[in-house]
Amino acid sequence: MASTILDVAKLSGYSKTTVSRTFLNPENVPETTRTKVFEAAKKLNYTPNAIARAMVRKRTDNIAFILSKHQYPAVLNPFYSPILETVLQTVVKENYSLFISPDTDLSLPNGEIYLKNQMDGVLIAGKTNPKVINGFMNQNLPVVLINNKLDIDGLFCITADHYAGARLAMNHLVERGHRKIGLLAGNFSPQVFFERYNAYIDVQRENNLQVDYRFVQSLDPNVSEAFQYASSMLVSKDRPSAFFCTNDTIAIGTMKAAIRLGLRIPDDIAVIGIDDSTMSSLIEPELTTIHIDTQAMGLWAAETIIALINHQPITRENFEVDSYLVVRNST
């Protein structure tokens, strides 16, 4: 049905080799040849077949972005979606195509198989089964991990220091004079959960504050759950003067609860989040939070996978991204 390089060759009067050459390096071919070939191609509505090309070149220029199945929703996830956005823009600029996949299908009988030979490299965001990673690496596929670190030879990772970030948040609250601080901790991957939890405990110890475990709660990181826990804690007579929420979504639920109870933020209750997601500056009062440089994550991940694909030197190995405090009006 669709026309092939042979049709163009016949119509233009040249050989398939010349046609191929013309499409690959137009400048390496005399002008008359070029125009004749392109003319014929246009007339036949011809377009080089990317699959056939990939077959001989052993390159597809496709990069996969796999989101841990623990992260649902995939595209809408407030932490990962800015990373995906940056990766997409970066990768497209270098003429790669981006393929996105929640990693569920990798566990399907044939899912893992199909993915492999169609990709030049794989980006994995979040916690994943090491078996999957090994599967890719056994095929000599370059892999870069995002917000996850595994000590495998030849594997590159980009992470953030969630302990340091959480300390920033806690220190800020302490500096503002808060002596009683509640914790609403999202149950992300155990690693992230504990890094932030430990920061909460450590900073308080260092400042001789006592942890009141009635105001420490782990929960699913969504607004309604945060709203519920925060509501019940905020009505307590000896409630904390501040809440450390381990992400912005939880912080927003907490603020909602406070506002509904008629409490003033930050005078009656201070709230701090983590992520500096888009929402944090949209709500009123605006949320004080920890900015994690997700743009750097996306950029480095994209550039690294491309460098690996092209066997170019890697600028930095296993790079840890910065976090900083963004003071707004909720503290």
Partner DNA sequence: ACACGATAAGGGAACGTTCCCAATCGAAAC
Partner DNA sequence: GTTTCGATTGGGAACGTTCCCTTATCGTGT
Stretch 28-57 residues interacting with a copy of itself (CB under 8 A): 45, 47-52, 54-55
User: Who contacts 28 (Cβ-Cβ below 8 Å, separation ≥6)?
Assistant: 21
Q: What SS3 string covers the chain?
A: CCCCHHHHHHHHCCCHHHHHHHHHCHHHCCHHHHHHHHHHHHHHCCCCCHHHHHHHHCCCCEEEEEECCCCCCCCCCCCHHHHHHHHHHHHHHCCCEEEEEEHHHHHCCCHHHHHHCCCCEEEEECCCCHHHHHHHHHCCCCEEEECCCCCCCCCEEEEECHHHHHHHHHHHHHHCCCCCEEEEEECCCHHHHHHHHHHHHHHHHHCCCCCCHHHEEEECCCHHHHHHHHHHHHCCCCCCCEEEECCHHHHHHHHHHHHHCCCCCCCCCEEECCECCHHHHCCCCCCEEEEECHHHHHHHHHHHHHHHHCCCCCCCCCEEECEEEECCCCC
CB of 256 to a copy of itself, least distance (A): 6
Q: Is 270 in the site for a copy of itself (CB under 8 A)?
A: no
Q: Which is nearer to a copy of itself, 203 or 301 (CB)?
A: 301
CB contact at 8 A, 68 and 103: yes
Stretch that binds a copy of itself, among 157-165, 210-218, 274-282, 307-315 (CB under 8 A): 274-282
Q: Which does 102 bind (CB under 5 to 8 A by kind): DNA, a copy of itself, none?
A: a copy of itself
| 102 touching a copy of itself, by CB under 8 A | yes
Q: Under the criterion CB under 8 A, does residue 73 sit at the interface with a copy of itself?
A: yes
Positions that interact with DNA (CB under 7 A): 2, 4-6, 13-18, 20-21, 23-24, 29-30, 32-33, 46-49, 52-53, 55-58
User: Binding of a copy of itself at residue 295 (CB under 8 A)?
Assistant: no
Q: x/- binding map, residues 232-261, to a copy of itself, per CB under 8 A?
A: --------------------x--xx--xx-
Q: Among DNA, a copy of itself, none, what binds residue 283 when CB lies within 5 to 8 Å by partner kind?
A: a copy of itself
Which of a copy of itself, DNA, none lies near 232, with the C-beta cut-off 5 to 8 A by kind?
Answer: none
Please identify, using beta-carbon distances, which residue of 54 and 209 lies nearer to DNA.
54
From candidates 32, 76, 177, 317, binder to a copy of itself by CB under 8 A:
76
Residue 62: CB minimum distance to DNA, A:
16
Q: Under the rule (CB under 8 A), what is the footprint of a copy of itself? A: 1-2, 45, 47-52, 54-55, 60-62, 73-76, 81-82, 84-85, 88-89, 92, 95, 97-102, 104-105, 108, 111-118, 138-140, 223, 252, 255-256, 259-260, 278-279, 281-284
